[in-house]
Chains A and B, each alone.
Chain A
């Protein structure tokens, strides 16, 4: 893959994401409109998946010819639903639970990758619902700065796992998602430091339920898709460690930490998310628990025993 191709597959979704996120979060007149700031991240991420996929693998057909082609189709659905979820942001606990359960059920039903039996589909659904519950709650407690940096770290971790799993397109999709999350982090940073609302007050951007909904759908889907199609050395424990990282934000809300809004609190929360990602990647890249060479030898011995005759 050349630099130009990389620029197209990762750069184009990032550019589109920037066009959507920057005005929605940085320009005071736009961001005060109901639902716009809350849906910008979600729409950008959903579109990012679809664009990254199409630059590599063409427009997916309906029904898809390969199971993983459901990924951009579901991402398009997420893009469409994001503004709706953003509009009902803050409608109460019942609404939050309903969105969580419905998104888990729909994604668990639609995202059927190979080797996914009923148990795995339920697990995916529960994981989506749980991630949404954590992030939608966190979206009202934490600034976009913390959350977007956390997402950038998680998607970067997923990019490296997908690369090791020999899944090129998913690597590029995860890289695009990481890049969009980083743009969102920068936009939230700019909005928090340099911009003021019309009444002169500082505005700390929140990702809103829309952003939480997209993240809760995309991180589990990318994880399960990568796990299902892995032809490399990535084990389930590596996927688990990286994918569980956003949920670690819960620990940042424990008594003693929840009221720490200073830089130290921010660093602790980011460290909580980074820790499982780093552990997972270290385990994978150092080869701990993997017997790669022996596995290859075994394959060769079996092959020769089966097929080579004197």
Chain B
């Protein structure tokens, strides 16, 4: 009798484990949409725009053309995206070569010494459908500080194997916090910099180039 009870208990345990395993597998399958996928950022369709006040008058815009990294994100938006993004400083583009070179110089982004700007997520809080308040660490000029960005999921499209997804992050930083102080004190260049980062990533096996 005791032997039978033990066998029954073991069978029940094995069945429960199997059921749990299947449930987890189903939950993580592409069809359910809840699996967190890793999206590789597509440098062609990603960019980081920055805006700052010039001479107390106009708002000046510039951009970085090379944005790389990954975004971990479930297609059904059940969890917040996790960003690991790097921006190449030497890809700065203001439309004027001379200004690009000055901004790449040690008075501003110091591209010779710090060749990238990075952002790594540390947490996310849902603020609406496809909208997240994203906390992360932003590193500029080798100095890492926490920032909060508002992120909008701009779209997800694909099939169960491959998908593309897009995000747009908007946030404001004070450049002097990172040691980029040129023109702040005399007001020739604003301290607050508004950043708009447009990202597009692709999940699934890497496409052949």
Residues of A within 8 A of B (CB): 1-2, 5, 56-58, 65-68, 114-115, 165-170, 228-229, 231-232, 296, 303, 307-309
Contacts and interface: CB of A to CB of B under 8 A. Distances in A.
Interface of B: 43-44, 65, 97-98, 101-102, 104-107, 110-113, 141-143, 179, 181-182, 186, 188
Query: What are the 5 closest A-B residue pairs judged by CB atoms, nearest first?
Result: A231-B101, A166-B101, A166-B105, A166-B102, A229-B106
A303 B100 CA distance: 15
Interface majority SS on B: helix, strand, loop or mixed? loop
Main secondary structure of the interface of A (DSSP, over half): loop
Contacts of B112: 114-115, 228-229, 231
A269 to B, nearest CB: 35
B101 A57 contact: no
A66 B181 contact: no
A5 B188 contact: yes
A57 B181 contact: yes
A2 B186 CA distance: 9
A68 B110 CA distance: 10
A167 B105 contact: yes
A66 B186 contact: no
Nearest to A172: B107
A68 B142 CA distance: 14
A167 B107 contact: yes
B143 A307 contact: no
Given A58-B181, A167-B107, A65 B143 contact: yes
A309 B45 CA distance: 10
B69 to A, nearest CB: 16
Contacts of A67: 113
Contacts of A232: 101
Contacts of A2: 186, 188
